[in-house]
Structure 1
Amino acid sequence: MPPAMTDLLDIWAAHSPLAGHVLDQVTVDFLLPTGIYIQMDVPREATIQHIKLLLWKQAQSFPLFPSLGEMESHMFECVNQAAVHEELEDESRRLCDVRPFLPVLRLVTRNCGRAERLLDSKIGVLIGKGLHELDAINDQEVKDFRSKMFRLSEERMQKVQMMTCTEWLQACFSPQLEPPAGPAAPEGLNDRPADLKVIIHFDQSQVRDEDTYTCVDRGCVCLCTFLASVPDCVHIFPAQYANAAHSLPPLAFPRQLVQTCVWDVSQPFKIVLVNGSKVNAEESAKVQVRAGLFHGTELLCKPAVSSESSGRSDHTWNNSTLEFDLSVCDLPRMTRLCFAIYAVMDKVKKQKSTKNLHTNKYQTIPWVNTMVFDYKGQLKTGDIILHCWSSFPDELEEMLNPIGTIQTNPYTENATALHIHFPEYMSHSVVFPPFDKVRHRGWKKFNIELKEIMERDPLSQLCENEKDLIWTLRHDCKDYFPQSLPKLLLSVKWSKHEDMAQLQALLQVWPKLSPRDALELLDFNYPDQYVRKYAVGCLRDMSEEELSQYLLQLVQVLRYEPYYDCALTHFLLERAQGNRKIGHFLFWHLRAEIHMPAVLVQFALILEAYCRGTLSKLKSVNELIKLGTIKNARSKTKEAMLTKEAMMTCLRQSGYSETLSDLHSPLNPNILVEKCRYMDSKMKPLWIVYNNKLLGGDTLGIIFKNGDDLRQDMLTLQILRLMDLLWKEANLDLRIVPYGCLATGDRSGLIEVVSSADTIANIQLTSSNVAAAAAFNKDALLNWLKERNSGDALERAIEEFTLSCAGYCVATYVLGIGDRHSDNIMVRSTGQLFHIDFGHILGNFKSKFGIKRERVPFILTHDFIHVIQEGKTGYTEKFASFRQYCEAAYLVLRKNGNLFITLFALMLTAGLPELTSVKDIQYLKDSLALGKTDEDALKQFRQKFDEALRESWTTKVNWMAHNVAKDNRS
């Protein structure tokens, strides 16, 4: 090494911020490309760049050092926590952030394109999955999607570079910008060239190097060979023979160039079972495979069942063919092929019904799904191995799980594997055609029966006669009930391609729906790609604020997209890259679920695409606190002091304070270590306090929770924000406090702290010397408000309390929110009441020893009434006004009942513990009394209101028990 370089290393090391730090050192083994092995102690918090400098200085005294060359031409590799190789291209990261699986770093020579590699490294850190893992996926769909997203990102970046300063500021920091007038009109199917000429290159062994061909058969009904937007045709001839083409035989094209329309294949659809492995059945059991074809949740024909096979692990079915009672020509484009492998015991075989067959098994039934057509619309052929999933939802008919993912289990080592074969129906590939417009049938007059059907909620089932009526009057639906499109789609016979073609023609002229109505079309029941593209077109009219409101559901319905490249993915990426706020929340909604195997690749690809155009510190502090509180539960006071002191010490470290201070926030807050604490609940959430310089030094608080799934809280708070919006649209402001909540990872996330607020429990306990009596002190809450407000301010505070109490009474009743103890209800000093912690929703109320602890439809205690009536006894005009607020709020929510049902339905596959099936959503239909008149619904709500008042003493008993338990813990 040159002397100047040596001196530079000495000076840098001496003046490094880590110079002199011998604590928190770790012994690392360094493997050099020259074959030299060096063991060295390095600071745990040193950056990779610093460690490389230290290694370079140490390596000077070892043999073959000159062979290494320039230091900048090398980088480190390690095996990370996921047990995969990771290239440490970003050398600004610290060793404690990299967290290698073993303390071994390998020095390797960089390849060319360092800037691109550095970008890839940063993206990998952001999305939590190294891009080399995506590079290793041998899937053409993944490769095509990444290539397309890379190209689109480059195009967007070029557009950004051409922006003026004002345009750039509006794109990145605009608070609320309306989107441009609707999207460009879709390309017309009639915009076709008069003649098709294609230049094709072949190998010498087949035909001439280059020939020009033209389409001459304009009347055939099969799919065009090359372009989906040209007339349907597979008869291709040399251009010079065009006039005499019909007298010549077609050329023998390679198989991949000649395609047949699926509508021309009349054979029954079938598959071949090859074998299964790792089935893990009982020795005496007989194993069978059940297969079904689904479009959404509709079973297209009777399931096919294999013959029986014996054995514990490996099974063969002698290449038996499963034939379905459905022709290939009638397969919908989005057909799913769903499998279930199950063991048939003797006592089960005697049962007549197969509906509950899986409930009598000794083992979990493996299941797996796959698409019949690939992402290009081509009917699958050849062998495929499907790795099954073991967790099986209850109460599914036919033992099949069509709503489950179409991704196979990535953990192949222990997963049941099913080997199947898709046969060939033609000597060349079979593809699904583009839809052509068809003639409209004569219009028929709509009637009262049709209107009644269209006004039903989304959970209502349609009988076959009603479906036939809707389909017959489909044009009337377009003209008079355009919002009825979902019901029309449920009435289409997707196994008839004539109906599908007519539906596609109707979609071209269907009026655009409002974004709220279009959301339902993204449900699993509407898998058709053209329908989903139409729905996304309607969503383009959303403002940024409205898109933020529904972003949680839009991310979840990505699970319903069978192919990575789809209209919804493009829409979300486009809006996210055009608005930083949308992009911020899209990133975290995806990033929070990247650990889930079913969406790992899909979400990683979208995150990578978004990232092209630090919460680990908080988590480690939380782990420290939970470890400290578990060690010694007996000496609680002393242990709590020691644990808080340890947390303070940890947060004071430069690495933590710098990381926390750099958390992205519109107000740029700074952390106040002395005011940070942890909360006295099971998961010991951290209470992080920031100093807000822009608001005169006021503090802001964030609660970091590690160990709780916050996605259910996010959903509930989102619905509360929507209710608040709907009420305000109806000129009813009920002072809702939908505080911020964001899941950021696997069972971890952030919760906004509402300032100047305290819990009902604390307010009651500070007003009484005896915890058991605190819950029954009806004056405690009113006195607390009087202490903080006087004169006109007290009157305003009571009005705030009245309005907010009405809003939360209605909201918690409609949503079925449980676990409403006195620490889960808070009041601000300004009078606003609000609820927190939504771990139990949709009527899942807590019980103990089999006894239901919560017996009221919502919380309305007499101390609440005491505040509303300003301390006066008897029911006054104030109470009458409060009741009217509740009834008016309830009627507003009823008018939007379909929207609430849709939003919850879109979350069905999110994996929330209390939202797993349509039966859970039924609670909303019942609480909103959908299907009843407003008069009958209001009668039902009034009965619930009276019940809440009458049984409020049970709430006080529960609160007393909670206060006593809390007092014993302190």
Structure 2
Amino acid sequence: MPPAMTDLLDIWAAHSPLAGHALDQITVDFLLPTGIYIQMVVPREATIQHIKLLLWKQAQSHPLFSSLGEMESHMFECVNQAAVHEELEDETRRLCDVRPFLPVLKLVTRSCGRAERLLDSKIGVLIGKGLHELDAINDQEVKDFRSKMFRLSEERMQQVQMMTCTEWLQACFSPQLEPLAGTAITDGLNDRPADLKVIIHFDQSQVRICSPVTRFPVLSRLQYIRTCMQAKESPHLTLVHTSTVKGMFDKEISAIRAVVSRKSSNPPLPLPPKRRVPTVSSVMCGVQVRAGLFHGTELLCKPAVSSESSGRSDHTWKDSTLEFDLSVCDLPRMTRLCFAIYAVMDKVKKQKSTKNHYPIAWVNTMVFDYKGQLKTGDIILHCWSSFPDELEEMLNPIGTIQTNPYTENATALHIHFPEYSSHSIVFPPFDKVRRLTGRGGKKFHIELKEIMERDPLSQLCENEKDLIWTLRYDCRENFPQSLPKLLLSVKWSKHEDMAQLQALLQIWPKLSPRDALELLDFNYPDQYVREYAVGCLRDMSDEELSQYLLQLVQVLRYEPYYDCALTHFLLERAQGNRKIGHFLFWHLRSEIHMPAVSVQFALMLEAYCRGNIPHIEVLKKQVEALSKLKSVNELIKLGTIKNARSKTKEAMLTKEAMMTYYSVLDPRCRYMDSKMKPLWIVYNNKLLGGDTLGIIFKNGDDLRQDMLTLQILRLMDLLWKEANLDLRIVPYGCLATGDRAGLIEVVSSADTIANIQLTSSNVAAAAAFNKDALLNWLKERNTGDALDRAIEEFTLSCAGYCVATYVLGIGDRHSDNIMVRSTGQLFHIDFGHILGNFKSKFGIKRERVPFILTHDFIHVIQQGKTGYTEKFGSFRQYCEEAYLVLRKNGNLFITLFALMLTAGLPELTSVKDIQYLKDSLALGKTDEDALKQFRQKFDEALRESWTTKVNWMAHNVAKDNRS
């Protein structure tokens, strides 16, 4: 190597940002392409680029160094924590972030296309899923989607490169409406087979009866279930179940000896959850399979059920034919074939109901593939074992159509879709379907108006559905917002009705974006309906889209195919506005660990990054900063256990990249010179001359429920302001960023009610009953006109949060979950319990009031005066006005919560949870009756406020004892 190069390496190494820092060291083995092995000690927080510099300097003293050539022509490879080979193209990463499985780095010669490889590496690190994992997926739908997105991204970046600076700023930071890419459907459908047949083969099964001591049935093994779909000449969709197994049982441990040979690779059958199985003295288990065809949540025909798989003596599964009473020509495009495997319990004693079936596993698949072709060939579906509560028919149509990626322990169904003809059978394109339509409709009936004004949770009887369908053209002319109810009235098992609906959609008036959101619910899976809904969403401003982005990301779960109108819409709007792109990225990335959406969300993240390459570096800094916050948090937890706080402080100070990065909560600001406390970071906004910003990083808590609640509070604030009612809500920032991790914005100049009360009293037990504490606290911080403004702020915000917490059923409202700003604004934090899930102790509800309205709050509102004054009357009037505004938008709130049903939030798992909103808003009642109900709740909150003070006293005492 030339002397100049040697000197340069010395200079680079000496002036590295890591030089002179006391960092942890690690011994790494380096394998060179010349066959030379070098072992070296390097800083664990050094960048890959710095490590390569150190290695290059060391390699000068080893043989064959001259044959290595240029340093830049080489890169490192390693085996990562997932035991996957990884190329370290991005050399700005640190070794501790790479986290190789073993401390071994292999130096290899770079191949061509370095820029592309570097971009792939950055995107993989950024989205939290290596692109080599996507490359390895043997799924043509994935390949076609990536290819299409790659092409669109290239076109997008070519357009960006041709823009002037001003055009680029407008494109990135202002709303841009772009036309939706059309979905081309090729090949018509002329002659189609009349039916579809499904055959299930039970090749082998082992069942165990529980010991009388365990008093709980134990299922040991189901080898696998083979399901075949075959076309026959009969007029119905048919399921044929056939297999033969013989076995012998003894008294306590029983098994089935299968005729076929055991396959060791088959996983054991998962056990039914204990909570689902009653206590019994003697139980014998069999296994059955149920299959159903669904369009949304609508069961298209009677489910098909297999025979039982075991008995007390030799048991034979005899051939039996189970028919789906549905012709193939009547299958909707979005038909799902849903399976459930369940145990059958015999001799169940002391059981209130006669039900003796207990679900074990489920899985869903589409009947048509993403191209609209009727599926053919072999498919293996790995089942899911977690069942939502109270499933009808034990089938889970709302569940994902993705199979369980954890195949090792999953029950497998082997599906075979046979060839039906020499050419592919394709669902007919729209123009051919429309030929079946015929215009109908009768005169308008007054009864229709009452039906159309019902809330989304109201069920329609068959007579009402028939009336709506008969008067569908009257619905279009007089109640266009009633489209969801019309869709629920369509007989999706009749292709003539489907055709007429699709034609009607072409002339249906455009709905407002808020009304169109309901059409993205799982109940409306039809492709043309969802495309119509997305077309309505195009009228949204960027601000409005940001308001509903959380739900729009969640309803991607309802899309059976990756390439759909909603995916294109979200990507286009994200590419047109950096702020939307920022939050779309984090909403997707925060759930990338969830198996049901891992591939789908990774594909969208890749598409977004490729179409927004300038945004990658900004997002990369945020991802790195969050990684460091997580490591600091883990060190803090470890330091607390081992009392090693000095090491924790030193580790926090070495997190250099945290000194400057774009805030994840607000991508428009950049904060510098961080000063941190455990889980609490304060940023001084010196760059833009702003105030300090506090952020709490949580690692171990699921913040998505808080994020949803705060989103709804922002929406309530918006609706009130639209009605000229500003209730001074404080919807602070909250963002989930990963698996049980996220950030919460700290509201400045604020303190909790508990702290305010405790500082006014020397005794924790008495603090909660000091009604003057809060008013005195405000007086200390405000005088004269400022005090009057602060009390008005308190009055308005207290009214807003009283109504909001009542409507949303927010629980766990102790004195550390309610805060007050020095300017007077009251606000609530920590929304771990919503929709009426109030905490209880020893079977007694701890919260016995509909919302928090204590006498010390009234004391502030009335400025210390006794008796109910005019100020209190204004406060009550604010509450009633706010409540009526929310009632007018009740359908919107129900829709937004319904769109979150599959998000996996602990207190939002079924439609029954949303029923709380319908009751609290008194939907279905007149305004007069609803207001009467609210006034009763208001009086109850005042009358029972002493129970709140008792709870607060207990909380203060417990807090004082812990401190």
Fold equivalence (TM over 0.5): yes
CA offset at residue 677 of structure 1?
Answer: 21
Matched-pair contact (CA < 8 Å) for 2:665–2:743: no
Call closer, same or farther: CA 1:126–1:323 in 2, change over 3 Å.
same
Matched residue, 1:595: 593
Call closer, same or farther: CA 1:179–1:529 in 2, change over 3 Å.
closer
Call closer, same or farther: CA 1:884–1:186 in 2, change over 3 Å.
farther
Matched residue, 1:707: 700
CA offset at residue 2 of structure 1?
Answer: 4.3
Call closer, same or farther: CA 1:98–1:647 in 2, change over 3 Å.
closer
CA offset at residue 381 of structure 1?
Answer: 1.4
Call closer, same or farther: CA 1:341–1:531 in 2, change over 3 Å.
same
Distance 2:192 2:421 in 1: 28
Matched-pair contact (CA < 8 Å) for 2:684–2:693: yes
**Of the candidates 566, 569, 576, which is equivalent to residue 578 of structure 1?**
576
Matched residue, 1:655: none
Call closer, same or farther: CA 1:314–1:16 in 2, change over 3 Å.
farther
Call closer, same or farther: CA 1:515–1:920 in 2, change over 3 Å.
same
Matched-pair contact (CA < 8 Å) for 2:849–2:940: yes
Unaligned runs of 5+ in 2: 218-222, 229-264, 268-275, 612-624
CA offset at residue 146 of structure 1?
Answer: 0.3
Matched-pair contact (CA < 8 Å) for 2:820–2:826: yes
Distance 1:759 1:531 in 2: 48
Distance 2:643 2:224 in 1: 72
Secondary structure, aligned partner of 1:826? strand
Distance 2:381 2:675 in 1: 41
Secondary structure, aligned partner of 2:379? strand
Secondary structure, aligned partner of 2:38? strand
CA offset at residue 518 of structure 1?
Answer: 0.2
Distance 1:638 1:131 in 2: 36
CA offset at residue 434 of structure 1?
Answer: 1.2
CA shift digits 1:264-316 (9 cap, x unpaired): xx999xxxxxxxxx999999999221111111111111111223335999999
CA offset at residue 871 of structure 1?
Answer: 0.7
Matched-pair contact (CA < 8 Å) for 1:259–1:428: no
CA offset at residue 645 of structure 1?
Answer: 17
CA offset at residue 31 of structure 1?
Answer: 2.4
Matched-pair contact (CA < 8 Å) for 1:471–1:491: yes
CA shift digits 1:194-240 (9 cap, x unpaired): 999999999999999xxxxxxxxxxxxxxxxxxxxxxxxxxxxxxxx
CA offset at residue 439 of structure 1?
Answer: 8.3
Matched-pair contact (CA < 8 Å) for 1:683–1:705: no
CA offset at residue 100 of structure 1?
Answer: 1.7
Call closer, same or farther: CA 1:146–1:205 in 2, change over 3 Å.
farther
Distance 2:805 2:204 in 1: 74
Secondary structure, aligned partner of 1:893? helix
Matched-pair contact (CA < 8 Å) for 1:644–1:678: no
Secondary structure, aligned partner of 2:680? strand
Matched-pair contact (CA < 8 Å) for 1:285–1:311: no
Secondary structure, aligned partner of 1:198? strand
Secondary structure, aligned partner of 2:791? helix
Deviates more, 1:709-718 or 1:103-112: 103-112
CA offset at residue 388 of structure 1?
Answer: 0.8
Matched-pair contact (CA < 8 Å) for 2:681–2:696: yes
Distance 1:542 1:500 in 2: 29
CA offset at residue 104 of structure 1?
Answer: 1.7
CA offset at residue 65 of structure 1?
Answer: 3.7
CA shift digits 1:23-71 (9 cap, x unpaired): 4110112223344332211111111011112222323344444443432
Distance 1:314 1:740 in 2: 64
CA shift digits 1:914-961 (9 cap, x unpaired): 000000000000000001111111111011001000000000001011
Distance 1:200 1:283 in 2: 32
Q: TM-score, normalised by structure 1?
A: 0.82
CA offset at residue 641 of structure 1?
Answer: 15
CA shift digits 1:714-766 (9 cap, x unpaired): 10000000001111111111111111111111111111111111111111111
Call closer, same or farther: CA 1:563–1:587 in 2, change over 3 Å.
same
CA offset at residue 372 of structure 1?
Answer: 0.5
Matched-pair contact (CA < 8 Å) for 2:696–2:744: yes
Distance 1:50 1:812 in 2: 54
CA shift digits 1:454-502 (9 cap, x unpaired): 0000001101111111111101111100000000000011111111111
Matched-pair contact (CA < 8 Å) for 2:723–2:885: yes
Call closer, same or farther: CA 1:7–1:459 in 2, change over 3 Å.
same
Matched-pair contact (CA < 8 Å) for 1:676–1:688: no
CA offset at residue 418 of structure 1?
Answer: 1.0
CA offset at residue 128 of structure 1?
Answer: 0.5
CA offset at residue 682 of structure 1?
Answer: 22
Matched-pair contact (CA < 8 Å) for 1:820–1:859: yes
Matched-pair contact (CA < 8 Å) for 2:531–2:565: yes
Matched-pair contact (CA < 8 Å) for 1:258–1:428: no
CA offset at residue 552 of structure 1?
Answer: 0.2
CA shift digits 1:648-667 (9 cap, x unpaired): 99xxxxxxxxxxxxxx1499
Residue 376 in structure 1 maps to residue 375 in structure 2: no
CA offset at residue 628 of structure 1?
Answer: 2.5
Call closer, same or farther: CA 1:777–1:181 in 2, change over 3 Å.
farther
Call closer, same or farther: CA 1:501–1:397 in 2, change over 3 Å.
same
Call closer, same or farther: CA 1:56–1:959 in 2, change over 3 Å.
same
Residue 630 in structure 1 maps to residue 628 in structure 2: no
Distance 1:867 1:316 in 2: 78
Matched-pair contact (CA < 8 Å) for 2:377–2:417: yes
Secondary structure, aligned partner of 1:348? coil
Distance 1:354 1:97 in 2: 56
Residue 257 in structure 1 maps to residue 224 in structure 2: yes
Call closer, same or farther: CA 1:253–1:781 in 2, change over 3 Å.
closer
Distance 1:576 1:253 in 2: 52
CA shift digits 1:173-201 (9 cap, x unpaired): 33899999999999999999999999999
CA offset at residue 637 of structure 1?
Answer: 16
CA offset at residue 344 of structure 1?
Answer: 2.2
Distance 1:199 1:762 in 2: 67
Spell out the pairing of 1:107-126 with structure 2 (5 A cutoff): 107-126=107-126
Matched-pair contact (CA < 8 Å) for 2:549–2:584: yes
Distance 1:487 1:121 in 2: 48
Call closer, same or farther: CA 1:348–1:394 in 2, change over 3 Å.
farther
Call closer, same or farther: CA 1:677–1:164 in 2, change over 3 Å.
closer
CA offset at residue 106 of structure 1?
Answer: 2.0
Call closer, same or farther: CA 1:191–1:785 in 2, change over 3 Å.
farther
Call closer, same or farther: CA 1:639–1:347 in 2, change over 3 Å.
farther
Matched-pair contact (CA < 8 Å) for 2:671–2:686: no
Call closer, same or farther: CA 1:280–1:862 in 2, change over 3 Å.
closer
Distance 1:505 1:111 in 2: 54
Distance 1:471 1:847 in 2: 47
Distance 1:516 1:523 in 2: 13
CA offset at residue 422 of structure 1?
Answer: 1.9
CA offset at residue 99 of structure 1?
Answer: 1.6
Matched-pair contact (CA < 8 Å) for 2:23–2:45: no
CA offset at residue 397 of structure 1?
Answer: 1.1
Call closer, same or farther: CA 1:196–1:294 in 2, change over 3 Å.
closer
Matched-pair contact (CA < 8 Å) for 1:800–1:832: yes
Deviates more, 1:863-872 or 1:179-188: 179-188
Call closer, same or farther: CA 1:557–1:504 in 2, change over 3 Å.
same
Spell out the pairing of 1:616-627 with structure 2 (5 A cutoff): 616-627=627-638
Deviates more, 1:791-800 or 1:79-88: 79-88
Matched-pair contact (CA < 8 Å) for 1:628–1:643: no
Distance 2:929 2:320 in 1: 58
Distance 2:416 2:197 in 1: 36
Call closer, same or farther: CA 1:667–1:706 in 2, change over 3 Å.
closer
Unaligned runs of 5+ in 1: 209-248, 269-277, 650-663, 670-674
Secondary structure, aligned partner of 1:326? coil
Aligned length: 891
CA offset at residue 698 of structure 1?
Answer: 2.8
CA shift digits 1:768-791 (9 cap, x unpaired): 111111100001111111111111
Distance 1:859 1:891 in 2: 19
CA shift digits 1:818-844 (9 cap, x unpaired): 010001101111111110110100000
Call closer, same or farther: CA 1:198–1:409 in 2, change over 3 Å.
closer
Call closer, same or farther: CA 1:316–1:621 in 2, change over 3 Å.
farther
Distance 1:50 1:679 in 2: 25
Distance 2:198 2:933 in 1: 69
Matched-pair contact (CA < 8 Å) for 1:45–1:95: yes
Matched-pair contact (CA < 8 Å) for 2:225–2:413: no
CA offset at residue 321 of structure 1?
Answer: 6.9
Distance 1:456 1:106 in 2: 66
Call closer, same or farther: CA 1:281–1:534 in 2, change over 3 Å.
farther
